[in-house]
């Protein structure tokens, strides 16, 4: 049930979240320098160590909206029942008498608007789910605490690490920073994506194995179509597929693009500079070079959803697949759980985005970009409300207690057990292991992340690019018109970025 930016989940596929911003692998390590830890008191339990926390003498209730990890939920439709986060809370309460962790069990039709309204009234949850793109661009400024100083200090619940940041995935931390270098959430899970397929329908069409190349994928959809079977039927997510193709086509320039801000990963600033310099820009033929290639595939799809918003029609398209009406569906790592819940009567298979060859397109570098879409845009993204957004945070000692609770939640051991219980995402921190059912998809996150795309420069760019993409794939505009419209969006985005952030991209 992840929504808003990056990757779309089963219950609500909204602007899922991934620009992606994508995610690093489990082997990434941090490199923040140590600084003095806050004064501490209280004992820890159920974590890596028994160090004292910094909850101080404050007592009261800490509210938390944990999105898909909400334990024992009764009011959130489609949410799998789980208890791990409640177990963590019980352990924290036992070690900190007088503090109660209260989880918000409520479903929000428009979460972004809910956050805006509550923050304006000073009633935001103490700890709330916030994805990096929303915190950096969409939500009102000043509603979430900058956690960077705490990342640079020891976490008392993780002995053996000089700083909290060293326990985190360094690439994810870098890629999710705001343009001015601030981190507004802790980010602990990863969305993986793949082509899922109905083995029974494949057999009906005489297809004995999943495609292993782009050419085989197109041929597979043709065979299904010729057999009277709907090969695919969904709104292809521009944000997802741009990252597959651009990460391949621009693999040779990745270090250059990622290096503009001199930090690991590709930030919003990096993207904006690359657009301004004509790299991630229609003046480079690679940027639009994948659109005709992708249209060869979607020409074999049922055309109903091509020009639609994935966040609007995603659930319908997914339900068609789970009902056996379509043979292939490109989705996230939650789909196997969806299939179990739906009691599907067919055998489910999956295959990764294939490695392209020169026979597919002259722009390919032959890079394996199967993991380029997966990223830190799932549900383990937690922010702390400021005193302006949450009036209760003005109570003396409460902010320190809330940060201490977040540190208790944010340890490798707790990240692993909370994420793995849910079963649809992959824990990304070093020293964590994925659930057994996620091992294959987790391989996408095991290597250094080198994902490229555009979308971070403007909160509206991904939505507008999706609209143009859909119009082109559905045949409503040709490639020349699409290219012209895309360039207008890129120009507007970097102009907006420079204005909002008072930066001159020409200096890079």
335-387: pLDDT as tens digits: 888 888 899 999 998 888 999 999 999 999 999 898 888 778 889 999 999 99
Q: How many CA atoms lie within 13 A of 394 on its CB side?
A: 7
What pLDDT was estimated at residue 264?
63
**Nearest-angstrom CA–CA distance, 328 and 301:** 10
How far is C-alpha 236 from the geometric centre of its chain's CA atoms?
17
**Nearest-angstrom CA–CA distance, 218 and 304:** 19
Higher pLDDT, 17 or 188: 188
396-428: pLDDT as tens digits: 999 999 999 999 999 999 999 999 998 888 888
**Nearest-angstrom CA–CA distance, 202 and 326:** 10
With bands split at pLDDT 50, 70 and 90, how would you rate the model's confidence at 445?
A: low
What pLDDT was estimated at residue 54?
65
What pLDDT was estimated at residue 290?
98
> What is the sign of the dihedral through the CA atoms of 360, 362, 366 and 368?
negative
Contacts of 87 (CB under 8 A, 6+ apart): 46, 71, 417
What's the mean pLDDT in 464-475?
A: 97
The CATH number of 193-373+452-507 is: 3.40.190.10
CB 333 within 8 A of CB 426: yes
What pLDDT was estimated at residue 443?
62
CB 25 within 8 A of CB 175: no
With bands split at pLDDT 50, 70 and 90, how would you rate the model's confidence at 41?
A: very low
CATH of 60-191+376-445, one of 3.40.50.1440, 3.40.190.10, 3.40.250.10, 3.10.450.200: 3.40.190.10
> What is the sign of the dihedral through the CA atoms of 8, 9, 13 and 15?
negative
- Listing DSSP states for 427-452 in one string gives E-STT----GGGHHHHGGGSSPP---
* Average per-residue pLDDT for the chain: 87
Provide the 3-class DSSP secondary structure of residue 501: helix
Residue 479 has pLDDT above 70, yes or no: yes
Q: Structure pTM?
A: 0.66
In the chain, CATH 3.40.190.10 covers: 60-191+376-445, 193-373+452-507
What pLDDT was estimated at residue 20?
32
How far is C-alpha 190 from the geometric centre of its chain's CA atoms?
6
172-218: pLDDT as tens digits: 898 788 878 899 999 999 888 889 999 999 999 999 999 999 999 99
């Amino acid at each position: 049930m992840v929504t808003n930016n990056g990757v779309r989940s089963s219950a609500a596929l909204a602007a899922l979240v991934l620009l992606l911003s994508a995610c690093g692998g489990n082997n990434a390590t941090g490199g923040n320098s140590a600084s003095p830890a806050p004064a501490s008191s209280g004992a820890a339990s159920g974590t890596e160590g028994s160090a004292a926390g910094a909850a101080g003498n404050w007592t009261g209730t800490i509210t938390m909206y944990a999105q898909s990890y909400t334990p024992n939920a009764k009011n959130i439709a489609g949410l799998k029942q789980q208890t791990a986060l409640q177990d963590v809370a019980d352990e924290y309460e036992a070690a900190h008498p007088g503090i109660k962790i209260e989880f918000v069990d409520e479903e929000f039709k428009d979460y972004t608007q809910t956050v805006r309204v509550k923050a304006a009234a000073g009633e935001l949850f103490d700890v709330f789910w916030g994805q990096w793109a929303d915190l950096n661009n969409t939500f009102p400024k000043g509603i979430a605490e900058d956690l960077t100083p705490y990342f640079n200090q020891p976490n008392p619940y993780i002995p053996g690490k000089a700083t909290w940041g060293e326990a985190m995935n360094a690439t994810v931390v870098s890629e999710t920073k705001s343009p001015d270098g601030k981190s507004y959430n802790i980010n602990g899970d990863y969305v993986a994506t793949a082509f899922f397929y109905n083995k029974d329908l494949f057999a009906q069409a005489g297809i004995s194995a999943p495609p292993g190349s782009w050419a085989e994928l197109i041929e597979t959809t043709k065979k299904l179509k010729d057999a009277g079977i709907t090969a695919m039927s969904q709104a292809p997510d521009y944000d997802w597929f741009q990252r597959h193709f651009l990460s391949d086509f621009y693999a040779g320039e990745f270090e250059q693009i990622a290096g503009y801000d001199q930090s690991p990963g590709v930030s919003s600033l990096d993207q904006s500079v690359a657009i301004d310099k004509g790299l991630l820009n229609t003046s480079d033929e690679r940027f639009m070079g994948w659109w005709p290639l992708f249209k060869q595939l979607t020409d074999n799809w049922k055309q109903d959803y091509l020009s639609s918003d994935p966040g609007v029609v995603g659930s319908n398209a997914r339900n068609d697949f789970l009902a056996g009406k379509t043979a292939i569906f490109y989705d996230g790592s939650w789909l196997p759980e969806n299939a179990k819940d739906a009691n599907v009567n067919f055998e489910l298979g999956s295959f990764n985005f294939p490695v392209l060859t020169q026979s597919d397109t002259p722009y390919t570098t032959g890079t394996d970009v199967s993991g380029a879409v997966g990223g830190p845009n799932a549900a383990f993204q937690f922010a702390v409300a400021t005193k302006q957004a949450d009036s209760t945070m003005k109570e003396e000692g409460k902010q320190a207690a809330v940060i201490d609770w977040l540190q208790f939640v944010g340890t490798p051991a707790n990240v692993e057990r909370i994420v793995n219980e849910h079963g649809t995402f992959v824990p990304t921190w070093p020293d964590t292991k994925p659930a057994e059912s996620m091992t294959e998809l987790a391989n996408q996150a095991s290597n250094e992340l080198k994902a490229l795309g555009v979308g971070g420069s403007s909160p509206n760019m991904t939505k507008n690019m999706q609209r143009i993409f859909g119009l082109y794939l559905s045949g409503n505009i040709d490639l020349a018109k699409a290219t012209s419209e895309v360039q207008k969006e890129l120009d507007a985005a970097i102009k907006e970025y420079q204005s909002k952030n008072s930066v001159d991209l020409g200096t890079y």
